[in-house]
Structure 1
Amino acid sequence: AAMTLSALIADDEPLLRKALLEELNELMPELDVVVEAADGLSALESLRRNPVDIAFLDIRMHCASVLDVAQTLLDTWHTSSNADRHAPLVVFVTAFDEYAVDAFEAEAVDYILKPLTRERLMVSVEKIRKLLKQRNDLDRQLELETKLERALAKISHGDDGDGEQGNKRGIKPLRSIRASMGGRIHLLPVEDVILLQADDKYVSVYTSHQHALIRESLSDLLPRLPNESFVQVHRSSIVNLAFVETADRSSPGKMRLTLRGIDLQPVVSRSYRHHFKAM
């Protein structure tokens, strides 16, 4: 049997909420809609208190800041009290197409334009199922690799496996990052690391030719990285300054970095822009 998934629907029009609910009941019987909300902010507040697996949000509900709040919720998820569970998958259902770009920047899974059709919702349901399957497979793989790492740590430390913790207390600088890729543990030299990006329960580590995942928070990693070259640029990103080519301010209010060796262009939050004043 498929596992039950919890969901939230937020729309200020009761009839549209009801229509979406009925369609979802048929297309995704494993979905249990546990919260219905009439405005975006109360929906997001509820997500913080009682996380769900999937959230269907209407953007233009009384306040246009639903997008900002959704972005903040997802950005801060890994440092919140909910960090041990996955952030909700967010689907925006809206009558306005001008927010589509922002919605995808907020890492929405999908952006459905009203009027809602069954065919379009089916596409979204397929996307959600595919993402959940990938996530579960990844969880299982990382769980196995974490066990393997612990076993290796015990052997190499000749102790009860808390050698890593000991390092943290004395803040021993990292020379390499142990990361899992395809069922193997790799040691990535710190000087090769271009970008570290928190994503849900994991941190993605990027070098010019590798992308690996680790189960450690950015706040644990930052004090152990060489501080002359690694700086935090966003609550979910740390970059290696040695790889920064340009800091681009061309879009209003936003700064993006171009990094040598990878295509990703991390956004720099306002509070971290002082690192790039000279550029």
Structure 2
Amino acid sequence: MSTRALIADDERLMREQLSARLNEVWPELDIVAVAKNGLEAVALTAQHHPDLVFLDIRMPGMNGVDAARQIAQLPSGDESGDGWSGCEIVFITAYDQYAVEAFEQGVVDYVLKPAERERLTLTVERIRARLAQREASRQPPSTGSAEMQQLLLKLAAQINPNAAASKLRWIQATVGPQIQMIPVEDVLFFISDEKYTRVQTATLEALIRKPIKELVDELDMNLFWQIHRSTLVNTKAIAGVSRDLRGRQLVSVKGHPERLEVSRSFTGLFKGM
């Protein structure tokens, strides 16, 4: 079965050059879709479920880092029912400083513009080894790992330093008949259903209409980890992680009896547990 890939870059010549170079060094690779921006990349990833996504870091509208964060939240096989387990990310960049740390951590690889055959060959070798290891161990992709989340946060701060200072500090929520202001640090976890998001503290339960997808962009993700497409948990409130009889990871929360399920896409957050 061939590896399926998606390329996202706002420069047509770069898309064409990378496609041509990949065809030379990895002829078995099946490029199933090409996107011109981050929004298209997320939508086409959801549609085609590639094994690998090449993302330009700087694109208009939604940049590659934000697109990677959105892709990490897409439902995987355990939720969508089609067997897709997520994808690996490779960043395309003309700015080496944005990629060096990612490369050194081994969480993600990168392609420097212009895509030169020799460098791309090394990238492809590493990607193929990572995909083979993932297949052999049946592990989820690095996209949902704690290391990847931290890396994306750092890259996002480098690209848009003003965004880091404007993170949500208060939640305006409905508690019974009243509207109450809840400090973000007091929230143990957020859980969404189709209409509302439940805000749980040690002393109260409240409801807001803001979906998890928006909260991920507005909250400090050093404080909150996404463990399911519908769940965010305060890292300071995590008491421990256990497994049930079906092998699912369950997070125990300090000051609350509820245990929160970790979806397959985010099991890498608690690697080794």
Normalised to the residue count of structure 2, the TM-score between the two structures is 0.49
Using the size of structure 1 for normalisation, the TM-score is 0.48
Q: Which has the larger radius of gyration?
A: 1
